[in-house]
Amino acid sequence: MSSRDFDLNQTRDRLFADPQTPVAAFRFDDRVARVFDDMIERSVPGYRTIVTAIGLLGERLARPHSRCYDLGCSLGAVSLALAQRIQLPGCEIIAVDNAWPMLAQMRRRLAALEPLPTPVRPVCADLADVRIDNASLVVLNFTLQFVPLPQRADLIARIHQGLVPGGVLILSEKIALEDPRQQALFTELHHAFKRAQGYSGLEIARKRAALENVLVPEPLAVHRHRIEQAGFTSVEVWFQYFNFLSLIAIKAPASTGQSHE
């Protein structure tokens, strides 16, 4: 076995370590699927904490006889956190991703853990084509940042429509800072985080180039505006670590039918 084969088989992310390999646009392919757990944990400050907390949020917010959606599920970390925490009649988790290698790996992982307290249904589809219906909870955990900008408003609007009254969207994103000095500082802090996680300066620079125009962060104000435009009546940040944050947005509860005039 050559050292290259060995690298491809191990689970530690060294995908951007080789200076000889040309940098191509980032894709969720087979090589990424193999190292994804390690990659996201060492790249996204607070990732583990967020996933654990989404399990707790799900336990509190999911409703009986409704669906929870994990959109852009990758290897299913959020779906599993929800499935292990939620114990309600008639509840199911729909886990959607358009990258076959990611979903295939997730299916293998699920098979080893089933039966889970709440069933998880993996769906290979683009989010533009997914019907969201009877949802008490929808999670976009670092997924919207990969959706083309012109499609983002429609996705958030369809999520709002598919939620039951009082239903909740959890949106985690890498954000852009509006003040250029803050943007420079937060970028440096994120890179310092990655260095502390064992990535070299070269790996950081090469991955950054691969993500250019693929992962497109937006300012918090843009997210808030889009979420409010879609009809959500309440939005709060519940987690932030440098330029990575998570929002919780609530759909208005069912009207009581009483007039306050």
> What whole-number distance in Å separates Cα of residue 85 and Cα of residue 137?
14
Nearest residue (beta carbon) to ligand PPY = 43
Binding site for ligand GEK (CB under 6 A): 28, 40, 51, 72-74, 77-78, 96-99, 102, 126-127, 141-143, 146-147
| Min separation Cβ 222 and ligand GEK, Å | 18
| Min separation Cβ 164 and ligand GEK, Å | 22
> What whole-number distance in Å separates Cα of residue 176 and Cα of residue 157?
22
Per DSSP bridges, beta strands 163-174 and 244-250 are antiparallel
Write the CB contacts of 235 (distance below 8 Å, at least 6 apart in sequence).
224, 227, 228, 247, 248, 249, 250
Q: What does 55 interact with, of ligand GEK, ligand PPY, none (CB < 5 to 8 A by kind)?
A: none
Q: Report whether 29 contacts 101 (CB < 8 A).
A: yes
Q: Report whether 38 contacts 65 (CB < 8 A).
A: no
Choose among 186, 174, 165: nearest CA to 141: 174
Residue 208 among known ligand-binding residues: yes
State whether residue 88 is helix, strand or coil: coil
Q: Does 44 bind ligand PPY (CB under 6 A)?
A: yes
E strands, the chain, are: 67-71, 92-97, 120-124, 135-141, 163-174, 234-241, 244-250
Nearest residue (beta carbon) to ligand GEK = 72
Q: Does 215 bind ligand PPY (CB under 6 A)?
A: yes
| Min separation Cβ 91 and ligand PPY, Å | 29
Q: Which amino acid is at 60?
A: R
| Min separation Cβ 49 and ligand PPY, Å | 15
Q: Does 35 bind ligand PPY (CB under 6 A)?
A: no
Q: Report whether 177 contacts 243 (CB < 8 A).
A: yes
Among 43, 79, 105, 118, binds ligand PPY (CB under 6 A): 43
Contact map string, positions 141 to 180, toward ligand PPY, x by CB under 6 A? ---------------------------------x------
Number of residues that bind ligand PPY (CB under 6 A): 8
| Min separation Cβ 105 and ligand GEK, Å | 10
Choose among 249, 188, 239, 191: nearest CA to 46: 239
Binding site for ligand PPY (CB under 6 A): 39-40, 43-44, 174, 207, 211, 215
Binding-site residues for S-adenosyl-L-methionine sit at 47, 72-74, 97-98, 126-127, 141, 208
Binding-site residues sit at 47, 72-74, 97-98, 126-127, 141, 208
